[in-house]
């Protein structure tokens, strides 16, 4: 049956209505997007010049949560390297070369288990090479660890009633050290890197460090040099700490 004239006219108006609806949606998107568009370049630029090194523990099979963290950071535009902790020295050399060449401006370290235990050694080597470390985060370091040279901020997240240990500050340590005990939260030594809450905490701390990195980094002081006054630091995403 052929539709009558009234129905034909109504059908012919549908494409025009769709066009108007699409135009309104586009105009709405333009109206609400300028703030986001302005904020994105500075954030992406800071992320693009950030390199995060994630050090796995023994056997490379118990720290796969670091791969998840690395993938999320990479999605934010950061350079990411995930490797076994035994590579810390060569990774420090690579990081120093990239920093000196200007390819990287912000260096961040994350380690789990033996990877966390290796962080102070990697920081010390980078400091010797004249390279500042913006942030280091250890997840349940398994041996007694002493921090003699520092990152701008070092966060040791450990399980106080498990194999993990608090990190001790050596005399004259520069930089902020936070020991965060997460006992009673349901995470274990093998699962701490895979915990969604811990992963969110790690990523939030890295994001906060990148925001701080837009300010010029303080040069690494030579051993024995006079200590400069401490500057205020961001307390974003911090939790009660125990040193």
CATH number at residue 134: 3.40.50.1820
- Tens digits of residue pLDDT in 205-239: 999 999 887 655 455 544 444 544 433 333 333 34
Domain-located, residue 14: no
pTM value is 0.71
Of 88, 67, 47, residue with least CA distance to 207: 47
Q: Report if residue 144 sits inside a domain.
A: yes
Orientation of helix 65-75 relative to helix 196-212, angle to 10°? 40
Provide the domain count of the chain: 1
Per-residue pLDDT tens digits for 139-179 = 999 887 788 888 999 999 999 998 888 998 987 788 899 99
Whether 217 is in a domain gets the answer no
As a whole number of Å, the CA-based R_g of the chain is: 24
Which range marks the domain in which residue 150 is found?
43-212
Kindly give, in sequence order, each residue whose CB lies less than 8 Å from that of residue 82, ignoring residues fewer than 6 positions away.
54, 56, 66, 67, 70
Under 8 Å between Cβ of 139 and 232: no
Tell whether 242 is covered by a domain: no
Residue 8 placed within a domain:
no
Three-class SS state of 13: helix
> Tokens 């066009």 map to which residue?
19
Q: Does any domain span residue 158?
A: yes
- Asked whether residue 219 is assigned to any structural domain, the reply reads no
């Amino acid at each position: 049956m052929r539709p009558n004239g009234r129905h034909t006219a109504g059908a012919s108006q549908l494409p025009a209505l769709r066009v108007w609806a699409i135009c309104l949606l586009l105009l709405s998107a333009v109206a609400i997007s300028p703030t986001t568009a302005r904020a994105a370049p500075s954030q992406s630029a800071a992320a693009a010049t950030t390199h995060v090194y994630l050090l796995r523990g023994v056997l490379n099979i118990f720290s796969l949560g670091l791969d998840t963290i690395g993938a999320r950071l990479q999605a934010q535009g950061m350079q990411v390297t995930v490797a076994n902790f035994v590579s810390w020295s060569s990774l420090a050399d690579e990081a120093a070369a990239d920093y000196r060449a200007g390819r990287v401006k912000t260096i961040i370290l994350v380690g789990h288990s033996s990877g966390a235990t290796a962080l102070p050694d990697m920081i010390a080597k980078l400091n010797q090479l004249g390279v500042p470390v913006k942030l280091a985060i250890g997840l349940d370091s398994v041996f007694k660890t002493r921090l003699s040279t520092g990152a701008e901020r070092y966060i040791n997240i450990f399980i106080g009633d498990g194999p993990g240990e608090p990190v001790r500050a050596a005399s004259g340590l520069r930089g902020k050290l936070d020991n965060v005990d997460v006992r009673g939260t349901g995470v274990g030594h093998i699962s701490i890197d895979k915990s969604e809450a811990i992963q969110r905490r790690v990523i939030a701390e890295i994001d906060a460090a990148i925001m701080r990195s837009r300010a010029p980094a303080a040069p690494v002081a030579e051993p024995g040099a006079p200590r400069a006054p401490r500057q205020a630091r961001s307390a974003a995403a911090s939790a009660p700490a125990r040193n």
